[in-house]
Amino acid sequence: MGNKRMKLKVRHYNVDTSEPTVLMNDSDCVELGVKENDRVRVEGKGVATALVSRTDSLVKPGNILMPSNTMAMSKVKAGDTVSVEYSPAPDSVRSIRKKMDNEILNKDEIHGVVQDILDNKLSKIEISAWLTSLYINGMCIDEIADFTTAMVDTGERVNFDRKPVFDFHSMGGVPGNKITPIVVSIVAAAGLMLPKTSSRAISSACGTSDFVETFCNVSLDSERLKEVAEKTGGALAWGGAMHLAPVDDLVIKIEHPLGINPRAQMLASILSKKLAIGAEYLLIDIPMGKGTKVPTLEIARTYARDFMDLGEKLGMHIECAITYADQPVGAAIGPNLEARECIRILEGAEHPSSVAEKACDLAGIILEMGGIRNGAQRAKDLLDSGEAMKKFREIVRAQDGNYDIKSDDLKPGMYMAEIKSPKSGYIHAINNKNIVTIARTAGSPNDKGAGIILHHKKGQRVEEGSVLFEIYADNETKLKRAIEAAERHNPVDIEGMLIRHVMAPNVMR
């Protein structure tokens, strides 16, 4: 049975929408048997498949309104005539329905959904239903493994000649987690290869790439990543410059407004990027603490088990480290401030430091995966001896940065405010989320000088009037707003005082 078709005159509107759409008159839609959000096949010299919006007034019968992307696909210009007919939804919609019904999907079905999202064949409505179903009904480990390989197969791969490939990933959620350049430098200094790709902040204060780019170029394509890593043993690249598991970027746009990150999506997203660069040994850092993705040890252990089970299915050796994340890592939050603190540790100037300890512990696990005994001690030695710093300089130079980089090259923002303690006492808690809010309000991660420096951490004693933390910004307005944010979202809970419940203008000086 052939579908109904009709000839319609093209009109143009000059904006691309994120999904291919056309606007048609109600009567033409009734004639074609097309309902709102159905698809039509629009044939000119080329063919476009587009979602239909219906109107009883904006388009006259016999006409079709097309945005430029749909016009380009069907190779027509305004005034041309196109042939339009109902087009069924792609098969992947059936797979989405199955997941709604809590059925297990096979490899082909999962691949179909991933490919169709990537090819812009699924509408926002359908992707939202997919993610909501994943969030509610979840996936079993076999499905997540298939999901991971589907994400890899639909993207770029990097094939290293030097082997094996070590890799490292932090699940994030804890501010100030500037350990990556230290870990990479230590591991590379030990003679292993760790071509690290990182992300920028989505909702956090500062992603690894956000602060690494303050001292070198992070936009490496896959060729450059290979070159830098095979030469130096390390790399500090921004993953977004490559097309590893590119469907992830599209999915994030739909996850974000729903405020969800389904477990299956998160696991597949992390592992696909590692699989795409051929990682054989992978360490996952699972920061656990209030206000992070992993608030309890039970959840942390579940993630660890998931990662290790998936590693087995995917042929990757995965180990996990559950780390302390009840407060920021180290003292600095924000691009230049984190870069400075990170490099100071490599320079040997800031020992003892929780940042150095965490970095050496994690690097140590990677060294042991690579057959090096007493990994943590070896890592510490490489840091203390300056060999890690030397390796760091090599990597920075390979990524177009200055070999002679010094921590003091990284400058805090021009505008600064000190936030002082309204009373004496012990610091009971530092709220990660509020720290992020203040840092972002100050301009982080886009304003490179913006951020926070904590003067005290959890458990420490502070006296009335002593500085709790400093806020830095690149312009005055943002500093003022960040101060206001600090008033509203007090991040430092001092024992015995319900500062959280008080709008205390006298907190400020």
Please list, residue by residue across 246-257, b when 16 or more beta carbons sit within 10 angstroms of its beta carbon and e when fewer do: bbbebbeebbee
Residue 234 DSSP class: E
Residue 296 sits in the site that holds its own copies (CB under 8 A): no
Residue 165 DSSP class: P
Strands 81-87 and 5-13: antiparallel
Binders of its own copies in range 246-275 (CB under 8 A): 253-254, 256-260
Span of 135-143, 338-346, 371-379, 406-414 interacting with its own copies by CB under 8 A: 135-143
Report how far residue 79's alpha carbon sits from residue 396's, in angstroms, rounded to the nearest whole number: 55
Give the position of tokens 């203008």: 505
Give the position of tokens 């290979």: 226
* Tokens linked to 356: 């150095």
Least Å distance, CB 132 to its own copies, is: 4
Least Å distance, CB 125 to its own copies, is: 4
Closest CB to its own copies among residues 13, 426: 13
Span of 285-293, 297-305, 321-329, 479-487 interacting with its own copies by CB under 8 A: 479-487
Q: Binding residue for its own copies (CB under 8 A) from 6, 47, 100, 467?
A: 100
What would you measure as the largest C-alpha separation in the chain, in angstroms? 83
Residue 441 sits in the site that holds its own copies (CB under 8 A): yes
Report how far residue 462's alpha carbon sits from residue 226's, in angstroms, rounded to the nearest whole number: 49
Report how far residue 96's alpha carbon sits from residue 283's, in angstroms, rounded to the nearest whole number: 32
Closest CB to its own copies among residues 68, 81: 68
- In 73-213, the DSSP E strands lie at 81-87, 166-170, 194-198
User: 386: which residues sit within 8 A by CB, 6+ positions away?
Assistant: 348
Q: Binding residue for its own copies (CB under 8 A) from 6, 26, 38, 424?
A: 38
Amino acid occupying residue 344 = R
Residue 229 sits in the site that holds its own copies (CB under 8 A): no
Least Å distance, CB 77 to its own copies, is: 17
Residue 102 sits in the site that holds its own copies (CB under 8 A): yes
φ, ψ at 132 (rounded to 5°): -65, -40
Q: Binding residue for its own copies (CB under 8 A) from 151, 186, 454, 485?
A: 485
Residue 424 sits in the site that holds its own copies (CB under 8 A): no
Least Å distance, CB 142 to its own copies, is: 21
Q: Identify whether the C-beta of residue 430 lies closer than 8 Å to the C-beta of residue 492.
A: yes
Q: Binding residue for its own copies (CB under 8 A) from 6, 43, 47, 53?
A: 53
The residues that bridge with 40 in the sheet, in sequence order, are 50, 86
Q: Binding residue for its own copies (CB under 8 A) from 9, 37, 75, 106?
A: 37
Residue 126 sits in the site that holds its own copies (CB under 8 A): yes
Binders of its own copies in range 323-342 (CB under 8 A): none
Span of 28-36, 157-165, 333-341, 372-380 interacting with its own copies by CB under 8 A: 28-36
Residue 345 sits in the site that holds its own copies (CB under 8 A): no
For residue 479, give the nearest of 402, 414, 390, 400 by alpha carbon. Answer: 414
The residues that bridge with 427 in the sheet, in sequence order, are 494
* Tokens linked to 360: 């050496």
Binding marks (x or -) toward its own copies, 66..95, rule CB under 8 A?
-x---------------------x---x--
Where on the chain is the footprint of its own copies (CB under 8 A)? 1-2, 13-18, 21, 23, 30-31, 33, 35-38, 53, 55, 58, 65, 67, 89, 93, 96-97, 100, 102, 123-129, 131-133, 135-137, 202, 253-254, 256-260, 440-441, 446, 481, 484-485, 488
